[in-house]
Structure 1
Amino acid sequence: MLLAALYAACLVVGFLCGATGVGGVLIPPLLVLLSGLETHTAMGTSLANMFVLAVVGTWMFQRLGLINWREAIPLVLGGGLAGWPGAWCNARLDSGPLIYILGVVIVLAGVCALRPPSSAAAENAHPFWHGRTGLFCVGAVIGFIAGLTGVGGGVLSVPWMIIVGYAPIVAVALSMPFQILATFSGSLANVASGYLDYELLPGLTLVVLFGFWWGVAAARRIPPLLLRRIIGLVCCGLGVFLLVRQLAS
């Protein structure tokens, strides 16, 4: 019964990931609550699942012509370099304070994404945040957080890219290749530490992928401003969820 509830919840998470690039942060708590996995193993299994999702998502959005590799590669390199040290720290630190920080950051990102888009702000941010150095730095910071917490990274990269002027669907598309190296390097560290459930991972991944495909199809039909608002609301909701859950634990 709990396994069926887990798969149903992860189907919804997959849809959110496909439509908004955000949602992977829900998988670790779902695994803890509905499968009984220990927190570090839940985070490690979630990160491995997000690696597969990122590979498939990159292929899907590339076919749609939505990935600019000149912008994607610095994000990918930064995330790949930082994912391993993030997962290494995860294995050695208490996750409690980290969850509080992550929750606050996600809420702030969501609030910023909900603000009306400003072309002037986007133009002012262009020289650095749309350049290779800025994209690499952001990729490294978010990649480290991804490895540290077991989230895919889109929950932070998508609202940030929207804030500095990227179209919502492009921000979702760019979050996919970014997550490949970040989640791969982090997963290698989790395998080395023994924080991966090999029995649960295949079924979990298939369910999330189905929901993801469904979400990508839906996102292409949602007006950009509405999609931006949905992403902002989902981020705020996820951040509050993390904070409330941590306070109650």
Structure 2
Amino acid sequence: MELLVLTPIVGLVAGLLGAMFGLGGGFLMVPLLTIAGVDMRVAIGTSSAAILFNSISAVVAYSRYRYVVYRAGMVISATAVATAYLGAMLTRIVDVRVLKVLFGLVLIYVAVRVALARGADRGVENYRLTWTLRTYLAVTSGGLLAGLVAGLLGVGGGVVNVPLLTFLGVPMHNAVATSTLAITVTSTSSALTHYTIGNVDLQLLALLAPTLVVGAQLGAATAKRLRSLTLRRGFAAVLVFIALRTMLS
């Protein structure tokens, strides 16, 4: 009964924050579900499948606001899918504990940079990224890194996508929207993988999905109303939370 009540609430909060910051929501769903007594593997697998509902809902909202930079999102997602499997395989041969500490420290550094960055105060409709060789290399490399990190450490690609796009000059709101598109594609692959190996609890997913969809709409609408500085600082705070959780897990 407790899980029946808590799961939809987890979905609503994770959906709101995941869509607001372009992170998918897994960073919140996995720890909360495990605290509620769900097996870690099932929590990760079900969260991966649930993120798909959250991301699709958020992309619909951000597309309505015309914030999504589609080409960048598709390039990131295509390259991330290519390295996510490699990252998962590397967990068998590398000391993940050391990597978690190093990655956590890098995330804290990135959080500070994002919080102090300057840019457009609001989202820009139909924003166009100037595609030079440097841009292609940066976006492709970022996608490869996002997939590797997701597979190796179980951290969503949004922690790489959003800072990468903002450093390329993309306004914060547009970076969040574009990251959400990339997560939609990569989470599809992840969800199918977890489903085939039996890590997805369909009953839990059925409880999470409706509130994730609603939460994503609320998160996108909230992000649209926030100033870029507020959104950046909120994103930075979430990055620090993820960094500490990664290092201590």
Same fold (TM over 0.5): yes
Which piece of structure 1 moves more, 161-170 or 100-109? 100-109
State the partner residue of 1:160: 164
Instruction: Give aligned pairs, total.
Output: 238
Q: Is the 8 A contact 1:162 1:228 kept in 2?
A: no
Which piece of structure 1 moves more, 66-75 or 214-223? 66-75
Distance verdict in 2 for CA 1:102–1:171, change over 3 Å: same
State the partner residue of 1:113: 114
State the partner residue of 1:31: 33
Q: Is the 8 A contact 2:142 2:160 kept in 1?
A: no
Deviation at 1:99, TM superposition (A): 4.4
TM-superposition CA deviations, 1:111-140 (whole Å, max 9, x none): 221123279xxxxxx8555x2232122112
State the partner residue of 1:239: 243
Distance 2:22 2:173 in 1: 9
Matched, 1:181 2:181: no
Distance 1:118 1:210 in 2: 29
Distance verdict in 2 for CA 1:150–1:56, change over 3 Å: farther
Matched, 1:135 2:133: no
Q: Is the 8 A contact 2:48 2:191 kept in 1?
A: yes
Distance 1:143 1:239 in 2: 17
TM-superposition CA deviations, 1:92-111 (whole Å, max 9, x none): 98865554455334323212
Matched to 2:27, the amino acid is V
5+ residue gaps, structure 2: 121-130
* Identity across the alignment (%): 26
State the partner residue of 1:170: 174
Deviation at 1:212, TM superposition (A): 1.4
Distance 2:167 2:138 in 1: 14
State the partner residue of 1:202: 206
SS at match of 1:71: helix
Deviation at 1:91, TM superposition (A): 8.5
Deviation at 1:193, TM superposition (A): 2.5
Matched to 1:205, the amino acid is A
Matched to 1:34, the amino acid is A
State the partner residue of 1:79: 80
Q: Is the 8 A contact 2:7 2:207 kept in 1?
A: no
TM-score (normalizing by structure 2): 0.81
SS at match of 1:240: helix
Distance 1:96 1:200 in 2: 29
Distance 1:66 1:133 in 2: 22
Matched to 1:238, the amino acid is I
Matched, 1:213 2:217: yes
SS at match of 2:225: coil
Which piece of structure 1 moves more, 97-106 or 84-93? 84-93
Deviation at 1:174, TM superposition (A): 0.5
State the partner residue of 1:9: 10
Distance 1:6 1:98 in 2: 31
Matched, 1:144 2:145: no
Q: Is the 8 A contact 1:49 1:201 kept in 2?
A: yes
Q: Is the 8 A contact 2:57 2:216 kept in 1?
A: no
Deviation at 1:179, TM superposition (A): 1.2
SS at match of 1:55: helix
RMSD: 2.8
Matched to 2:33, the amino acid is L
